[in-house]
Amino acid sequence: MKRLILMALWTLSFIAPISVINGANPPVTHVVDSSFIDPFYSSGAHTFRLADTQTITGLGNGNYFVNWYVDTEEWDFDPQTNHIFSKIEFKKGNTVLGTFVDDEGWSYFGVENSQTIMFKTYRIDNDYTALVFRGGAYAAGVPKLTIFVLCGNEVKLVYNKEYFIGNINNNTITIRKDPQGSDLGFITISGGYITIVSDEYPTGKTIY
């Protein structure tokens, strides 16, 4: 019996270091922090018109689709503002993963190679992908900066705050309260996390 015990302890002496090594880089745990999410605003009845669809490929099994809808009562009457979209719908195949409505809406980033850019896409890691949306810009007021995360059969809202987007440099987005003003901080999406540095979080804080 004593010999068996000694053999068991000898075996464990080899297994334990391996377990420590394997646990040196545990998987990232993502948590939604509600303090980074201002509620969307929507009031009254709406009639929506599907205005645009963008396909996201290369994220595992199946394609994702993002549908943008114009509120025909609020924005469709004026050619200067019909680029404002008040409803976003996420689908995987034929399955709707989530729908989000905001009366102030979102707008395009611009046009690249004759392709309208509805949002910016960033890989957080192998499993999670962030989609950054630019809020509708008006003569007065600060638009929302909205970030959704896609993973498997889910879409999650992880960030929705009033900021203008300043500059986009690879995985870093600078943020402003005035479109012509100086940068107040930045959001970084890489290395498994979405993080922010700003006046409120000078040493940085994890968004997701």
For the chain, the residue count is 208
Question: What pLDDT sits at residue 126?
Answer: 87
E strand intervals along 142-202: 144-151, 154-162, 164-169, 172-176, 185-190, 193-197
For the chain, what percent of residues have pLDDT higher than 70?
79
Of 11 and 113, more confident: 113
Query: Rounded to whole angstroms, how far apart are CA atoms 200 and 205?
Result: 9
pTM of the model: 0.83
Query: Rounded to whole angstroms, how far apart are CA atoms 2 and 171?
Result: 59
What's the whole-number mean pLDDT along residues 39-44? 89
What's the whole-number mean pLDDT along residues 108-113? 78
Q: Structure tokens of 34?
A: 């509600």
Query: Is the per-residue pLDDT at 16 higher than 50?
Result: no
Asked whether 158 and 166 are in contact (CB, 8 A), the reply is no
Look up tokens 């987007």; give the residue: 165
pLDDT in tens, 30-40: 899 999 999 99
pLDDT in tens, 158-171: 999 999 999 999 99
| Domain map (residue ranges) of the chain | 28-162
Query: Is the per-residue pLDDT at 180 higher than 60?
Result: yes
What's the whole-number mean pLDDT along residues 112-127? 86
Query: Rounded to whole angstroms, how far apart are CA atoms 20 and 82?
Result: 57
